[in-house]
């Protein structure tokens, strides 16, 4: 029997709304990118195991006790222990998780709350697993695709620095002892070698200061907006960034709407999870449109951020009342397309780095051996005379 289409409505519910878990949330510490990635992995493991245990009929408290014993990470183990104690005292899972916002994000807590309210917690856990798994797959795909080019580029820089600081100075001493005429390219190479050998600490200091300064600037609202704008406008990278963010936004909206959360709450959650100020502004406009009683798809008619095909799928799904299914399908397609683009970009970067490496090595070799060629020619002329 076909399932009923998912319809979204902006009307206020007649019953008293469920208590928002975010009102009790404490502000957790800001986590670095690596720790956020680690948190995602732990969250996936936690929700997947909890889904299996609850699906097999295990009571919530017993399931949490089991996860508490299995968890190796001390931070997560302490959080699960606290959640289990609060549930034993009569609190809900979502409400208890709100005490640990640095581990359980707002989207996760909202899906837990919706599952508890509707009595469909295993179903919501399955959706959380899908969302988290897709996010991790996307990150793993990007990191895995760019890992080899990054290692190759690092090796190139290390070899170049070692050549300039160890090999080139010996050639310079040789040229001085033989009184060989030095061509301009060789002079430039020797000058770069001398500067790097004498002022390497200045270069490291400038790089460190530049990195810290950039990090502090990006931490400001203006710097963050500038970096987000640059990420969207860079050649090739801009298109890929838009595609990744669009896929995440579309999937989040589809999943949350399918979970029967209020549309304004859905948009608020997605606005805080999109990771780009321009998309956050777009979703803020969508919230305003919903408040005025307009179709939410109108706010997504922005070709600079949302592809026209995605907007059309959004509008068609909204008109047919199957917006959740439509957006989930579009998100699947975007994820597959993004994976192909990343792999193709990697295949282009690898030979490009090798070409640059070959050009640098060739230029360095020519600049070092030109004086030796001149010396050989002079010796031959002297012998002939």
Instruction: Look at residue 179 and give its three-state secondary structure.
Output: coil
Residue 379, pLDDT score = 55
Q: How far is 7 from 13, CA to CA, in rounded Å?
A: 14
Task: Count the Cβ atoms, other than its own, within 10 Å of residue 128.
Answer: 25
Q: The tokens of 348 are what?
A: 């282009």
- Burial string for 259-294 (b: 16+ CB within 10 Å, else e) reads bebbbebbbbbbbebbebebbbebbebbbebbeeee
- The architecture CATH gives domain 23-104: Up-down Bundle (1.20)
Q: How far is 148 from 150, CA to CA, in rounded Å?
A: 5
Measuring CA to CA, which residue among 341, 332, 144, 126 is closest to residue 248?
Answer: 332
Q: How far is 4 from 322, CA to CA, in rounded Å?
A: 9
Residue 206, pLDDT score = 92
Residue 213, pLDDT score = 92
Q: What are phi and psi of 103, to 5 degrees?
A: -110, -40
Q: How far is 251 from 47, CA to CA, in rounded Å?
A: 18
pTM, two decimal places: 0.74
Q: How far is 317 from 7, CA to CA, in rounded Å?
A: 9
Cβ distance 339 to 141 under 8 Å? Answer: yes
Residue 321, pLDDT score = 80
* 236 Cβ contact list (under 8 Å, min separation 6): 345
Tell me the H-state helices in the chain: 33-55, 60-70, 74-88, 93-97, 106-118, 121-162, 168-178, 184-198, 200-218, 221-233, 237-258, 263-271, 277-291, 308-320, 323-384
- The architecture CATH gives domain 141-385: Up-down Bundle (1.20)
Measuring CA to CA, which residue among 123, 112, 125 is closest to residue 83?
Answer: 112
Q: The tokens of 50 are what?
A: 């909890």
Q: What is the pLDDT along the chain (385 residues), one digit of tens a residue?
A: 444 444 444 443 333 333 333 434 444 444 455 566 778 888 889 989 998 998 888 898 999 999 988 888 888 999 999 999 999 998 888 889 988 888 888 888 888 888 888 888 888 888 888 888 888 888 887 787 778 888 888 888 888 888 888 888 888 887 777 777 778 888 888 888 888 888 889 989 999 999 999 999 988 989 889 999 998 888 878 888 888 889 888 888 888 888 888 888 888 888 888 888 999 999 998 888 888 888 888 888 888 888 888 888 888 888 888 888 888 888 888 888 888 888 888 788 878 888 888 888 888 888 888 777 766 665 555 555 5
* CA 315 to chain CA centroid, nearest Å: 28
Instruction: Write the burial class of residue 321 (CB in 10 Å: 0-12 exposed, 13-18 middle, 19+ buried).
Output: middle
23-104 and 141-385 agree in CATH topology: yes
Domain ranges of the chain: 23-104, 141-385
Residue 381, pLDDT score = 54
**End-to-end distance of the chain based on CA atoms, in angstroms?**
102
Angle at 359 between CA 353 and CA 365, to 5 degrees: 135
């Amino acid at each position: 029997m076909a399932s009923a289409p998912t319809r979204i409505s902006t009307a206020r519910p007649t019953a008293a709304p469920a208590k928002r878990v975010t009102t009790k949330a404490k502000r957790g510490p800001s986590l670095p990118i690596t720790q956020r990635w680690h948190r995602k992995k732990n969250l996936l493991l936690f929700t997947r195991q909890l889904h299996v245990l609850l699906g097999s009929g295990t009571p919530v408290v017993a399931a949490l006790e089991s996860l508490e014993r299995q968890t190796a990470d001390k931070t997560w183990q302490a959080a699960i222990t606290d959640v289990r104690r609060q549930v034993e005292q009569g609190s809900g899972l979502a409400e208890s998780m709100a005490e640990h916002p640095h581990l359980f994000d707002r989207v996760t807590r909202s899906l837990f709350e919706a599952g508890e309210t509707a009595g469909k917690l295993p179903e919501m856990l399955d959706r959380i697993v899908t969302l988290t798994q897709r996010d991790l797959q996307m990150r793993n795909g990007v990191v895995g695709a760019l890992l080899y080019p990054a290692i190759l580029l690092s090796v190139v820089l290390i070899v170049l620095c070692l050549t300039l600081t160890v090999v080139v100075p010996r050639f310079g001493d040789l040229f001085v002892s033989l009184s060989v005429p030095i061509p301009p390219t060789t002079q430039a190479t020797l000058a770069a070698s001398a500067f790097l050998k004498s002022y390497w600490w200045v270069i490291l200091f400038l790089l460190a200061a530049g990195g810290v300064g950039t990090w502090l600037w990006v931490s400001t609202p203006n710097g963050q907006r500038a970096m987000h704008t640059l990420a969207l406008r860079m050649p090739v990278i801009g298109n890929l960034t838009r595609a990744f963010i669009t896929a995440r936004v579309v999937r989040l909206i589809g999943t949350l709407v399918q979970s029967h959360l209020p549309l304004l709450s859905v948009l608020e959650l997605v606005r805080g999870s999109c990771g780009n100020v321009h998309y956050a502004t777009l979703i803020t406009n969508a919230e305003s449109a919903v408040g005025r009683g307009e179709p939410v798809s109108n706010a997504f008619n922005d070709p600079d951020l949302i592809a026209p095909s995605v907007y059309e799928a959004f509008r068609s799904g909204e008109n047919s009342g199957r917006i959740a299914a439509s957006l989930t399908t579009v998100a699947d397609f975007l994820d597959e397309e993004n994976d192909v683009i990343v792999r193709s970009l990697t295949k282009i970067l690898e030979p490009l780095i090798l070409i640059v490496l070959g050009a640098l090595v060739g230029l360095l070799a020519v600049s070092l051996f030109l004086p030796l060629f001149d010396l050989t020619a002079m010796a031959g002329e002297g012998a002939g005379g």
